Amino acid sequence: MVSATIKIEALAILDALSKRFPGAKIELHYHVGDPWTLLVAVCLSAQTTDVAVNKVTPALFARFPTAQAFALAKFEEVEPYIKTLGLFRNKAKNLVKAGQIVMERFHGQLPKAREDLESIPGVGAKSAAVIIANAFGVPAIAVDTHVMRIAQRAGLTKQTDPSKIEKDLTALLPQDRLLEAHHTFIWHGRRICFARQPLCSECPVRDICPRIGVKASA
């Protein structure tokens, strides 16, 4: 049972961060209205920065614009377009396989059901949450390293497993603000609440954040 107090605290943190980062949004580039391109960008972003992904996707999408194009490609044809990214060979294989599954099992349309998305190679729980929230408007908060760090430091969860953290945050925050929380927490983590030495002096929630686990700050 989630207490009313912790819900109030969670909402206060979200309100303050949203005020600081009113333009927070997904920083991966994809074709809005085409969920497949979001899946590709999200899969490529594993263990790689969004900036690095955004450098390769224009040429990649120009050469392979659809799920069908990926399905008909060979792994070796995709690799040169993403060779600057970490794990590019595995990612190329997953994208080709993902295209094949989307064409064969889902008739060329990316599925909206989270469990269906998670059956696609390269798409885990976090990636599926990002896709359903951004592409289909389904309430979800994907837990990456930034969201995890913010939630733990702010005392919104004691969990370390991403799926359990997602469950805690989903219970704490309004459903219609879960995507907002996802983007806002990520922006805060990338710009202020760094992993090693957070800029607590610049933090908009410094007066209410318990700073759990913070050993050094600036």
179-206 average pLDDT score:
97
Q: Can you give the pLDDT at residue 2? A: 76
Q: Can you give the pLDDT at residue 216? A: 76
75-104 average pLDDT score:
97
88-110 average pLDDT score:
97
CB-neighbour burial class of residue 81 (10 A; exposed 0-12, middle 13-18, buried 19+)? buried
Q: Could you tell me the pLDDT band of residue 4, with boundaries at 50, 70 and 90?
A: confident
Q: Can you give the pLDDT at residue 3? A: 82
Catalytic residue among 15, 97, 144, 167, which? 144
pLDDT tens across 30-73, in order? 999 999 999 999 999 999 999 999 999 999 999 999 999 999 99
Q: Could you tell me the pLDDT band of residue 109, with boundaries at 50, 70 and 90?
A: very high
**140, 154 contact by CB (below 8 A):** no
Q: Can you give the pLDDT at residue 67? A: 98
| Separation of alpha carbons 132 and 49, rounded Å | 21
Q: Can you give the pLDDT at residue 218? A: 73
Instruction: Indicate if 126 belongs to the active site.
Output: yes
142-159 average pLDDT score:
97
186 pLDDT above the threshold of 90: yes
104 pLDDT above the threshold of 80: yes
Instruction: Indicate if 15 belongs to the active site.
Output: no
Q: Can you give the pLDDT at residue 188? A: 98
176 pLDDT above the threshold of 90: yes
99-116 average pLDDT score:
96
Domains in the chain, ordered, with CATH? 4-24+148-202 (1.10.1670.10), 35-136 (1.10.340.30)
CA separation, residue 215 to residues 82, 119, 153, 175, 198 (Å): 37, 39, 11, 33, 9
| Separation of alpha carbons 79 and 91, rounded Å | 8
Task: Share the mean pLDDT of the chain.
Answer: 96
CB-neighbour burial class of residue 13 (10 A; exposed 0-12, middle 13-18, buried 19+)? buried
Q: Position 18: which residue type?
A: S
| Separation of alpha carbons 87 and 202, rounded Å | 35
Catalytic residue among 126, 161, 167, 207, which? 126
| Separation of alpha carbons 4 and 103, rounded Å | 46
